[in-house]
C-alpha cells in the first residue's frame, strides 16, 4: 500500500468509529446476487458417482439460518446407504484410485481446484445461504482456501516417494470423514484433498445443518470426471456419522467437531485397527502485552473471536490483556465493535452474520447467561438484531475469573471473555489453564518474548502478532482435549499413508 494512503487510512479509522456511534448515516445495502446459484428442491446422496435417494426415502430440511427459510430437502442416509457408499469407495479404491499413478491422480485434483475457482461465486453464495456466514468471508476465505487445499495436495500426489515417508508409502484404503458446520466446504477440502492425493477413496458426512456445498463439490467432482466411487457423500444426522465411523469397511476415520463426539468416536474405533485423527474444540488465549501496538492488537482480537461469528475451533475466545494497558485496549475494542455491521449475510458490508442453528443459539445464550449469573460484566455495542433467523450480538465479558464457565467452556459464538495478567509467567499459567490445547495468539513487539511464550504455551498453533491465519502448507491440530493428528502440510499427508 502507498505510504500516503496508509496515513489517510489511519486518520479515517477513528472518524469512522465516531460517525458509526452517532448512527446518523449508514452503509447502503450491497447485496450479492442470490441468483448466481440454483438450489434444487431436493438433493440425493452422492454414491458411486451418482446422486441417489436414501434407501428408505427419508429426507431432512436444510434452512437459511438468517431467515429460517427452508432451502432444500436433503436425503438422510441410514446404515444401508452408508454400507453402499463404503462398498462403492472400496471398489473404486481397489480397481481405479489405489493403483492409479500419483501423477494421474494429481490431474483430477488440479481440475477440482480450478473448477472451485471458476465456480467460486456460486459456492460463496451457497455457503452463506446455508451457513449464515458473511459473504465477504465465504468469498475471500472459505472458497479460496478450499481451492488452495486441492492445488497444494495435487502437487504432493506424485511426490510421495520423495517426501520422507519411506520408499513406497501406501494409501490406507477407505477414509470415513465427518465434518462440522462452521466451515462446511473448507473442512471438506481439508479432509478430502490429502486423502485423495495419497490414493485413498472417501465417504464424507457433512453436518446436518450445512450439507449443500459438499453436494455442490460432489457435482464438481462429476464435472472433473473423478472416477465413480472415489468420493461419496452421505448426508444425514449424527447417526449417519456414527454408522460411518463404526463401519467395518472403513480403514481411516477423520473427524472435526466437538470434544464429546470425538470421545465417542474414539471409543467406537478403539481396538478395530482403524487409523484415527480428531480435530476437536478449543478455548484459546489471545494474549496482549503492554508493548503491543494497540490498533493492531484490537484488529487481532476482533478477528480472533468475531470472525465467522466465533464459530471457530481455534477462536481467541479468552483475551488475556496485561493489566497496565487493559483500560486502553478495552476502550479501543469497544469503539471498534461499535463499527461492526451485523445482518444479511449476503450483504457485502456485513461483518457478523447469523448463528448457524437454533441449537447453537440456545447454547450461546445459556453460557452467556451463566457468565452474568456468575458475576462477570456483560457488554455489547448497540445493535439491532433482525426479527427472523438466529442472531447474537458481539459480546464482551469483563471481570471474568478463571473458574467461570465462560472462561472454561467452548461457547462457539461471538462472545469474548476478558482476563488480565501482570507478568509473562502469569499469562502462560492462565493461558494453559484449560483442558484444551489447540491454538493461542501473542501480541508484543519483542521477538524474544514471542519465542519465550511459544515454547511455553500448550497449544498446537501459536500465532504471533496475527490470528486465524491458515495455509494448506502449514500443519494444524491440537492435543489434550483438542484432539490429535495434524491437517495440512506434510504432517497432514502422513495421516493418510501407511508409511
| Shortest reach from residue 268's CB to ligand NDP, in Å | 7
- Phi first, then psi, for residue 486 (nearest 5°) are -125, 150
If one asks whether residue 276 binds ligand NDP (CB under 6 A), the answer comes out as: no
Question: What does the angle CA 314 – CA 326 – CA 13 come to, to the nearest 5 degrees?
Answer: 80
CA distances from residue 336 to 80, 269, 284, 463 in whole angstroms, order as listed = 52, 46, 21, 22
Q: What 3 state SS string does 377-418 have?
A: EEECCCCCCCCCCCCCCCEEEECCCCCCHHHHCCCCCCEEEE
Asked whether the CA dihedral 286, 289, 293, 298 is positive or negative, the reply is: positive
Of the candidate residues 173, 180, 316, 381, the single one contacting ligand NDP (CB under 6 A): 180
| Shortest reach from residue 92's CB to ligand NDP, in Å | 23
| Catalytic annotation, pick one of 32, 313, 481, 487 | 313
Of the candidate residues 44, 229, 281, 304, the single one contacting ligand NDP (CB under 6 A): 281
Nearer to ligand NDP, 86 or 242 (CB): 242
CA distances from residue 310 to 239, 338, 354, 477 in whole angstroms, order as listed = 26, 17, 11, 18
Longest dimension (CA), the chain: 67
Any catalytic annotation for residue 279? yes
Of the candidate residues 261, 297, 367, 450, the single one contacting ligand NDP (CB under 6 A): 261
Piece of the chain touching ligand NDP by CB under 6 A; list 39-47, 102-110, 260-268, 330-338: 260-268
What is the rounded distance in angstroms from the CA atom of residue 91 to the CA atom of residue 87? Answer: 6
Nearer to ligand NDP, 169 or 414 (CB): 414
C-alpha cell at 191: 479432509
Piece of the chain touching ligand NDP by CB under 6 A; list 51-59, 164-172, 205-213, 415-423: 205-213
What is the rounded distance in angstroms from the CA atom of residue 337 to the CA atom of residue 383? Answer: 10
Of the candidate residues 134, 257, 338, 353, the single one contacting ligand NDP (CB under 6 A): 257
Nearer to ligand NDP, 289 or 436 (CB): 436
What is the rounded distance in angstroms from the CA atom of residue 71 to the CA atom of residue 316? Answer: 32
Beta bridge partners of 463: 441
**Among residue numbers 357 through 416, which ones bind ligand NDP (CB under 6 A)?**
360, 363, 410, 412
Of the candidate residues 245, 352, 376, 457, the single one contacting ligand NDP (CB under 6 A): 245
If one asks whether residue 89 binds ligand NDP (CB under 6 A), the answer comes out as: no
Of the candidate residues 150, 181, 390, 392, the single one contacting ligand NDP (CB under 6 A): 181
If one asks whether residue 85 binds ligand NDP (CB under 6 A), the answer comes out as: no
Nearer to ligand NDP, 350 or 482 (CB): 482
Site string for ligand NDP, 289-318 (x = CB under 6 A): ------------------------x-----
What is the rounded distance in angstroms from the CA atom of residue 87 to the CA atom of residue 125? Answer: 33
Of the candidate residues 208, 335, 344, 347, the single one contacting ligand NDP (CB under 6 A): 208
* Beta strand pairing call for 395-398 and 377-379: antiparallel
| Catalytic annotation, pick one of 279, 410, 481, 487 | 279
**394 touches 342 (CB < 8 A):** yes
If one asks whether residue 280 binds ligand NDP (CB under 6 A), the answer comes out as: yes
Rounded to 10 degrees, the C-alpha dihedral 435/439/445/446 comes to 60
**376 touches 397 (CB < 8 A):** yes
* Beta strand pairing call for 483-484 and 275-279: antiparallel
What is the rounded distance in angstroms from the CA atom of residue 76 to the CA atom of residue 45? Answer: 8
| Shortest reach from residue 239's CB to ligand NDP, in Å | 7
If one asks whether residue 132 binds ligand NDP (CB under 6 A), the answer comes out as: no
| Shortest reach from residue 43's CB to ligand NDP, in Å | 15
Nearer to ligand NDP, 125 or 355 (CB): 355
If one asks whether residue 472 binds ligand NDP (CB under 6 A), the answer comes out as: no
**212 touches 72 (CB < 8 A):** yes
| Shortest reach from residue 14's CB to ligand NDP, in Å | 35
If one asks whether residue 204 binds ligand NDP (CB under 6 A), the answer comes out as: no
If one asks whether residue 284 binds ligand NDP (CB under 6 A), the answer comes out as: no
- Phi first, then psi, for residue 250 (nearest 5°) are -95, 130
Of the candidate residues 132, 229, 241, 393, the single one contacting ligand NDP (CB under 6 A): 241
| Shortest reach from residue 311's CB to ligand NDP, in Å | 7
Of the candidates 62, 81, 84, the residue with the CA atom closest to the CA atom of residue 71:
62
Nearer to ligand NDP, 268 or 464 (CB): 268
Q: How many residues bind ligand NDP (CB under 6 A)?
A: 26
End-to-end CA distance of the chain: 46
What is the rounded distance in angstroms from the CA atom of residue 269 to the CA atom of residue 300? Answer: 39
If one asks whether residue 266 binds ligand NDP (CB under 6 A), the answer comes out as: no
Q: Which residue is nearest to ligand NDP (CB)?
A: 241
Piece of the chain touching ligand NDP by CB under 6 A; list 78-86, 92-100, 200-208, 374-382: 200-208
Any catalytic annotation for residue 32? no
Please give the positions annotated as active site.
279, 313
List contacts with ligand NDP (CB under 6 A): 178-182, 205, 207-208, 237-238, 241-242, 245, 256-258, 261, 264-265, 280-281, 313, 360, 363, 410, 412
Amino acid at each position: 500500500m502507498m505510504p500516503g494512503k496508509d496515513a489517510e487510512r489511519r486518520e479515517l479509522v477513528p472518524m469512522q468509529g465516531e460517525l458509526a456511534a452517532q448512527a446518523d448515516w449508514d452503509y447502503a445495502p450491497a447485496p450479492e446476487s442470490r441468483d448466481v446459484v440454483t438450489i434444487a428442491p431436493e438433493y440425493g446422496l452422492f454414491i458411486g458417482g451418482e446422486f441417489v435417494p436414501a434407501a428408505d426415502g427419508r429426507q431432512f430440511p436444510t434452512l437459511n439460518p438468517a431467515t429460517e427459510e427452508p432451502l432444500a430437502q436433503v436425503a438422510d442416509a441410514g446404515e444401508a446407504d452408508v454400507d453402499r457408499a463404503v462398498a462403492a469407495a472400496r471398489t473404486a479404491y481397489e480397481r481405479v484410485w489405489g493403483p492409479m499413478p500419483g501423477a494421474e491422480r494429481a490431474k483430477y485434483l488440479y481440475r477440482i481446484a480450478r473448477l472451485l475457482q471458476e465456480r467460486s461465486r456460486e459456492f460463496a453464495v451457497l455457503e452463506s445461504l446455508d451457513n449464515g456466514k458473511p459473504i465477504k468471508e465465504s468469498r475471500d476465505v472459505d472458497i479460496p482456501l478450499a481451492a488452495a487445499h486441492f492445488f497444494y495436495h495435487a502437487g504432493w500426489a506424485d511426490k510421495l516417494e520423495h517426501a520422507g515417508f519411506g520408499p513406497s508409502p501406501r494409501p490406507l484404503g477407505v477414509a470415513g470423514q465427518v465434518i462440522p458446520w462452521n466451515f462446511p466446504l473448507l473442512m471438506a477440502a481439508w479432509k478430502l484433498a490429502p486423502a485423495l492425493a495419497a490414493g485413498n477413496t472417501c465417504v464424507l458426512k457433512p453436518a446436518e445443518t450445512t450439507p449443500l456445498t459438499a453436494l455442490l463439490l460432489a457435482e464438481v467432482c462429476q464435472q472433473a470426471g473423478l472416477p465413480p466411487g472415489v468420493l461419496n457423500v452421505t448426508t444425514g444426522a449424527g447417526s449417519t456419522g456414527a454408522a460411518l465411523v463404526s463401519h467395518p469397511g472403513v480403514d481411516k476415520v477423520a473427524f472435526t467437531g466437538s470434544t464429546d463426539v470425538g470421545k465417542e468416536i474414539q471409543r467406537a474405533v478403539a481396538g478395530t485397527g482403524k487409523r484415527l485423527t480428531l480435530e476437536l474444540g478449543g478455548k484459546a488465549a489471545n494474549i496482549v502485552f503492554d508493548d503491543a501496538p494497540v490498533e493492531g492488537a484490537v484488529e487481532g482480537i476482533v478477528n480472533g473471536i468475531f470472525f465467522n461469528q466465533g464459530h471457530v475451533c481455534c477462536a481467541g475466545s479468552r483475551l488475556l490483556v496485561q493489566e497496565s494497558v487493559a483500560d486502553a485496549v478495552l476502550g479501543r475494542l469497544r469503539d471498534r465493535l461499535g463499527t461492526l455491521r451485523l445482518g444479511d449475510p449476503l450483504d457485502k458490508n456485513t461483518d457478523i452474520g447469523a448463528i448457524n442453528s437454533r441449537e447453537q443459539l440456545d447454547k450461546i445464550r445459556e453460557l452467556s447467561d451463566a457468565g452474568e449469573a456468575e458475576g462477570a460484566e456483560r457488554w455489547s455495542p448497540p445493535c439491532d438484531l433482525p426479527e427472523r433467523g438466529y442472531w447474537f450480538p458481539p459480546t464482551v465479558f469483563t471481570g471474568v475469573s478463571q473458574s467461570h464457565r465462560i472462561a472454561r467452556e467452548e461457547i462457539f459464538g461471538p462472545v469474548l471473555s476478558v482476563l488480565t495478567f501482570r507478568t509473562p509467567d502469569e499469562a502462560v499459567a492462565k493461558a494453559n489453564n484449560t483442558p484444551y490445547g489447540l491454538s493461542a495468539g501473542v501480541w508484543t513487539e519483542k521477538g524474544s518474548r514471542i519465542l519465550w511464550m511459544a515454547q511455553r504455551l500448550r497449544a498446537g498453533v501459536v500465532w504471533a502478532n496475527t490470528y486465524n491465519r491458515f495455509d494448506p502448507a502449514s500443519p494444524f491440530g491440537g492435543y489434550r482435549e483438542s484432539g490429535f493428528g495434524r491437517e495440512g502440510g506434510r504432517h497432514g499427508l502422513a495421516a493418510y499413508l501407511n508409511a
